[in-house]
Amino acid sequence: MEVIRDILMNPVKAILKAKKDRNMNKTLLILVISWIMVGISFSFTLYRIGTPLIALSSALAIFLFGILFSLFYGYIINIVMNVLGGKGKYYDGLTAATYSSLPISIGILVTTILSFINVVLGGLLGFLALAITTALSLSIYFRAIKEFYSTDMVVTFVGFLVTIYVLMIAIYLSLGFSIGSSIFTMFPNQMV
């Protein structure tokens, strides 16, 4: 598929084309492909330590959670970037998140396959694959946000930090309240 090749070989062209075309179906297809690769990676890893059923069900769960998380993350990006002065829509946030997830998904899959063949090979060549694909993913993310929301790199970087803080605070508080309520339910209700 041409868009996948462009994302990997000429990301600027892919981003500018996505900005012009605004094709949500193409974005969703890339999203599904990315999470299929991550799901397959987890199934390879879990197949070694568990049964095929555990590997398959875990891969399916990772795939579904990843899709839902990416859809939500695109919404968070859109909120943050619009508050920071960008001019974009949900499509722009989702496409930035989706296009940037493709290279690292490939890196994860390559590392997993190499580790499945040989652990040392996976460690050495997997490191190289992940370093390259992570660099590509982060570069695509920043360039896509800059292009889609018409911001400069400083605002794009601040937006990136804010979205990371949002996710960390949400995880911290939701886990804190969940664990806290679990702890307090262990005590008998003796408050009068």
pLDDT in tens, 2-48: 999 999 999 999 999 999 999 999 999 999 999 999 999 989 888 87
Query: pLDDT value at position 47?
Result: 81
Query: pLDDT value at position 44?
Result: 87
Helix residue ranges per DSSP H, 84-118: 90-117
CB 36: neighbour CB atoms within 10 A? 17
Statement: residue 146 has pLDDT above 70: yes
The terminus-to-terminus CA distance of the chain in angstroms comes to 67
Query: pLDDT value at position 181?
Result: 73
Two tokens at 102?
A: 């493709």
Query: pLDDT value at position 176?
Result: 84
pLDDT band, very low/low/confident/very high, at 53 (cuts 50, 70, 90): confident
Would you call 53 exposed, middle or buried from its count of C-beta atoms within 10 A (0-12, 13-18, 19+)?
exposed
Distance CA 58, CA 51 (A): 11
